[in-house]
Amino acid sequence: MRKSGQWLLMLACGLLPLAQATAQTAQPYSWVTLGTMGGPMPRAGRNEPANLLMRRGEAHLIDTGDGAMTGMALAGADYPDLRSIWISHIHFDHLGGLFAVLGLRLQTRTTVPLTIYGPPGMKEIVSGLIAAMRPSALSGFGIEGEVALDPAASIRVVELDDDAQVQQDGFRVKVATNSHYSFAPGSVEERTYRSLSFRFELPDRAIVYTGDTGPSENVTRLAQGADLLVTEMIDLDDTLAQMNRRVRHISDTEKANMAAHLTRHHLSPAAIGIMAQKAGVKAVVVTHIAGGGASDAGADARYQAAIGQQYQGPVRIAKDRDHF
């Protein structure tokens, strides 16, 4: 494809930063990758998983890894504009920043209604965070006569499961369970816990966010015909090497369990290509990058090439605060 034609295709699919788009082609909603690191290990240059769906006067967080609020501010969103939060699953790297979100709400005495959507377990988690905020709420700013604000004020939590649909003012969200968990059949864990993928049906395009998942027919169906597939990715060899080098305090059995999880419950570049091609999506954005890329300047090109062996459309390896 000629360079000019490729530029136009990427622009049409939302793969160019907003600074490169003209006012005529700007989307009503912008998707921003606030944090693009996969996993809980700190890494310079990439925050933990978090995304933002925003337009003027309105913001929605999708996963809230550590640093999400700073990323939101750097993306140009105003905190009082936050209307909803969508948590894909309850691993700490995807919700470690939720306490900061709620704490800022308390400190700024914000009472605009906020709905937190997530899988089973979210009500218990949010209830615990609010309980942890009560001493700060009661002490306030240390001013005589100050009226304490209830940290639970105007916060609603909605737990979601497979095939759920949620109608917002400007868009609709469809939900599918994915394959990030594989508990023993019939176990309490299998009956209780879910990892979710979301399809955001906006006025002019559909964006599917996989969250964390392995290969999944359920997610492939959810993504059918989407304009943008925002997907996780793992560099398995590099991630396993890092785990063996840095996580030394756990047993060999625990390491084997972690290796099985990383292998079965995440998407390799080839698996991303297969999913994108089967779903017929118009473009792919890779985020939640686990392993690789930290010091390898050629990693992005390798990932794109591996995805491109299975999928013929545009592929972008996201950085923190990229706009789509």
In terms of domains, do 60 and 105 share one?
Answer: yes
181 φ, ψ (degrees, to nearest 5): -115, 150
Q: Which helix (H) or strand (E) holds 299?
A: helix 299-308
In terms of domains, do 198 and 132 share one?
Answer: no
Residue 207 inside a domain? The answer is yes
In terms of domains, do 56 and 113 share one?
Answer: yes
Token couple for 259? 């290796």
* Integer angstrom CA distances of residue 116 from 56, 108, 150, 184: 20, 19, 17, 29
Tens digits of residue pLDDT in 199-258: 999 999 999 999 999 999 999 999 999 999 999 998 877 766 666 666 667 787 776 777
Q: What is the CATH number of the domain that holds 313?
A: 3.60.15.10
> For residue 6, how far is the Cα from the chain centroid?
27
pLDDT of res. 21: 38
**Residue 9 pLDDT > 60:** no
Query: What pTM, to 2 d.p., does this model score?
Result: 0.86
Residue 12 inside a domain? The answer is no
**Residue 73 pLDDT > 90:** yes
Question: Quick check: 48 and 35 in contact, CB under 8 A?
Answer: yes
Count of H-run helices and E-run strands, the chain? 11, 14
Residue 21 inside a domain? The answer is no
Residue 233 inside a domain? The answer is yes
61 φ, ψ (degrees, to nearest 5): -90, 135
Domain that holds residue 85: 29-118+120-141+148-159
Residue 212 inside a domain? The answer is yes
Token couple for 129? 């965070």
Tens digits of residue pLDDT in 176-203: 999 999 888 999 999 999 999 999 999 9
Residue 265 inside a domain? The answer is yes
Residue 6 inside a domain? The answer is no
Count: domains in the chain: 2
Beta bridge partners of 175: 198
